[in-house]
Structure 1
Amino acid sequence: MDPQAYQLLKPNRDLQYNVYYVKATSQTTTLLLLHGFPNSSYDWRYQVDFFTKLGYGVIVPDMLGYGGTDKPLDPTLYQSSALAQDIVDVVDQLKVQGPVVAIGHDWGSVIASRLANNHNDSFAGFGFVSVGYTPPNPAMTYEQFLAVTTSMFGRELFGYWDFFASKDAPEIIGQHYDAFWDCLFAQKPSAVKQISTKDGFRSYLPQKVPTALPSYLTQEEADITKQNFKNTGLKAPLNWYIVMMNDKLQQEDAAKIPKENYKVKKPTFFACCLNDAICLPALYETSMPPLVPQLTVHKYEAAHWVQWEKRDELNQDLKKWLEAL
Structure 2
Amino acid sequence: MDPTRYKNIKTRRGFTYSYYYSHPAPGKPVILLVHGFPGGSAFWRKQVPFLESLGYGLLVPDLLGYGATDKPTDPKVYVGSGQAHDLVDVMDAESVERVIIVAHDWGLLPASRLINYHPARVTACAFLAGGYNPPSKKSGHQAARHEAVKKTFGFDAFAYMRFFVEPDAAQILESHIDSFISLMYPEDMQMWKENLCVDGGARKWLEADTIGPLPAYFTPEDKEHLKNSLLTEGMTAPLCWYRAATEDLIADDDAQISDSAAQVHQPLLYVAFTGDILALPMIADAYHSRYAKGTVTRKEIPAGHWGPESHAEELNVILFEWIGGLKT
- The alignment partner of 1:125 has SS state of strand
Q: What do the CA deviations read for 1:261-313 (whole angstroms, capped 9, x no partner)?
A: 22211001111101111112222233322322311111001011111111111
Instruction: State the 4+ residue runs in structure 1 displaced beyond 4 angstroms.
Output: none
Evaluate the alpha carbon distance shift between residue 14 and residue 314 of structure 1 in structure 2; reply closer, same or farther with a 3 A threshold: same
Q: How many residues are aligned here?
A: 323
- The alignment partner of 1:266 has SS state of coil
- The alignment partner of 1:289 has SS state of helix
Distance in 2 (alpha carbons) for counterparts of 1:67 and 1:259? 35
Residue 187 (structure 1) shift: 5.7
Q: What do the CA deviations read for 1:192-212 (whole angstroms, capped 9, x no partner)?
A: 112223322111223344422
Question: 1:161 touches 1:198 (CA, 8 Å); kept in 2?
Answer: no
Partner of 2:277: 277
Q: What do the CA deviations read for 1:5-27 (whole angstroms, capped 9, x no partner)?
A: 01111111011000111110144
- The alignment partner of 1:238 has SS state of helix
User: Aligned Cα RMSD in Å?
Assistant: 1.6
Q: What do the CA deviations read for 1:78-118 (whole angstroms, capped 9, x no partner)?
A: 11121111101110121026x41111110001211111211
With the length of structure 2 as denominator, give the TM-score of the two structures. Answer: 0.94
What does residue range 308-323 of structure 1 map to in structure 2 within 5 Å?
Answer: 308-323=309-324
2:136 partner amino acid: N
Distance in 2 (alpha carbons) for counterparts of 1:41 and 1:72? 18
Partner of 2:54: 54
Question: 1:26 touches 1:54 (CA, 8 Å); kept in 2?
Answer: no
Distance in 1 (alpha carbons) for counterparts of 2:188 and 2:91? 37
1:263 partner amino acid: Q
Partner of 2:153: 153
The 10-residue stretch of structure 1 (149-158 or 273-282) with the greater mean CA deviation from structure 2: 149-158
Listed as ranges, the gaps of 5+ residues in structure 2 are: none
Partner of 1:202: 203
Residue 190 (structure 1) shift: 4.2
Distance in 2 (alpha carbons) for counterparts of 1:122 and 1:199? 42
Question: 1:52 touches 1:58 (CA, 8 Å); kept in 2?
Answer: yes
What does residue range 29-108 of structure 1 map to in structure 2 within 5 Å?
Answer: 29-96=29-96, 99-108=98-107
Distance in 2 (alpha carbons) for counterparts of 1:292 and 1:2? 36
Distance in 2 (alpha carbons) for counterparts of 1:290 and 1:277? 23
2:58 partner amino acid: V
Evaluate the alpha carbon distance shift between residue 139 and residue 164 of structure 1 in structure 2; reply closer, same or farther with a 3 A threshold: closer
- The alignment partner of 2:19 has SS state of strand
Partner of 1:133: 132
Residue 233 (structure 1) shift: 1.3
What does residue range 183-194 of structure 1 map to in structure 2 within 5 Å?
Answer: 183-186=183-186, 188-193=188-193, 194=195
- The alignment partner of 2:46 has SS state of helix
The 10-residue stretch of structure 1 (29-38 or 133-142) with the greater mean CA deviation from structure 2: 133-142
Residue 183 (structure 1) shift: 1.3
2:113 partner amino acid: R
Residue 140 (structure 1) shift: 5.0
Distance in 2 (alpha carbons) for counterparts of 1:214 and 1:175? 22
With the length of structure 1 as denominator, give the TM-score of the two structures. Answer: 0.95
Determine what percentage of the aligned residue pairs are the same residue.
Answer: 34
Residue 47 (structure 1) shift: 0.9
Listed as ranges, the gaps of 5+ residues in structure 1 are: none
Residue 161 (structure 1) shift: 1.1
Residue 146 (structure 1) shift: 2.2
Question: 1:79 touches 1:250 (CA, 8 Å); kept in 2?
Answer: yes
1:144 partner amino acid: A
Partner of 1:114: 113
1:37 partner amino acid: F
Q: What do the CA deviations read for 1:138-189 (whole angstroms, capped 9, x no partner)?
A: 4453433322322232221112111111110011112221111111111634
1:198 partner amino acid: D
